[in-house]
Homo-oligomer: A and B are copies of this chain.
């Protein structure tokens, strides 16, 4: 929450939404943060996943669909370096297989909820004549260091990503591993200036950090971008370069974050245990996201991610 394609619509309401002293972080980040009367704050994020858009019932095992629907929301909590606490689930089940599909996806969600220590506290179950649709909302808490926003990047920051990118459609998109532990560990180690999770693809998601941080730019070093083996497999199949897949495929559910050059050097010298990190570029005054190629040439990075409101292309 919220993805790229919806930007026009969300932006419209962002401007008009009355500010409230209850809203610590509103529309435009991976989670909102709501202040409670007791003095605490709660992080909240919601994502709706739908048959034919985010999964196909005839291709994916039902528990995997459930895992994905919960996992993408947990990934949003990770992007704020938060701690997930509870989830509610609303589903619209295809009428002819309602019980089977409902039980299957709940089972996948239940297992993932247990793995990540999240309580499934409620839901709304409907059968209808439409395709399967699943909407999950996760509540979380910031750590003592507070939530990490998209908006804190500074000129000169180093850009990092966790893991390796691209080719998730070969299967990983159904099995997100929300980087909660990684985010909390990084948050405890260095001062994270800005962070986002990679749902639409690096080339689409990093620009949200640039925009929210006041219209900054970034140059990424093409050779430094970590390519997942599945991006190479996809490349073999479709002839697009592995780099294009790494930048544009999306649904990696890895983290992209920026830190000061000093923090960057420390992370590279002694990365927190068990976390795969790559330093891939530098924040500058812009404009926009650019790519430094092997020959030293710098060009605008125009690869677009998955756009939820775009007409479907073949």
Contacts and interface: CB of A to CB of B under 8 A. Distances in A.
Interface of A: 1-3, 5-6, 8-10, 12-13, 16-18, 20, 22-23, 25-27, 29, 31-32, 34, 36-42, 44-48, 50-53, 85-86, 88-93, 95, 98-99, 102-103, 106, 110, 114, 119-131, 133, 135, 137, 139, 141, 308-309, 311
11 contacts: A1-B124, A2-B125, A12-B103, A17-B110, A18-B119, A27-B121, A36-B42, A44-B121, A46-B89, A48-B124, A125-B309
A31 B122 contact: yes
Contacts of A51: 130
A76 to B, nearest CB: 10
A300 B174 CA distance: 49
Contact of A133 (B36, B41, B85, B133): B133
Contacts of A53: 126, 128
B91 A48 contact: yes
Given A2-B124, A36-B36, 14 more contacts: A1-B88, A1-B90, A12-B103, A13-B106, A20-B119, A31-B122, A32-B122, A38-B141, A48-B91, A48-B133, A128-B131, A129-B131, A130-B131, A130-B133
Most buried by B among A45, A122, A128: A122
Contacts of A50: 92, 126, 128, 130, 133
A123 B88 contact: no
B34 A121 contact: yes
A108 to B, nearest CB: 12
Contacts of A91: 48
In the A-B complex, the 10 residue pairs with the closest CB atoms: A38-B40, A6-B125, A135-B135, A32-B121, A48-B90, A137-B137, A46-B88, A20-B119, A32-B122, A34-B86
Contacts of A123: 1-2, 6, 10, 13, 27, 46
Contacts of A12: 103, 106
B52 A114 contact: no
Contacts of A102: 9
A86 B50 CA distance: 25
Contacts of A36: 36, 38, 40, 42, 85, 141
B9 A133 contact: no
Nearest to A133: B133
A32 B114 CA distance: 18
Contacts of A119: 17-18, 20, 22-23, 26, 34
A217 to B, nearest CB: 26
Nearest to A98: B309
A68 to B, nearest CB: 14
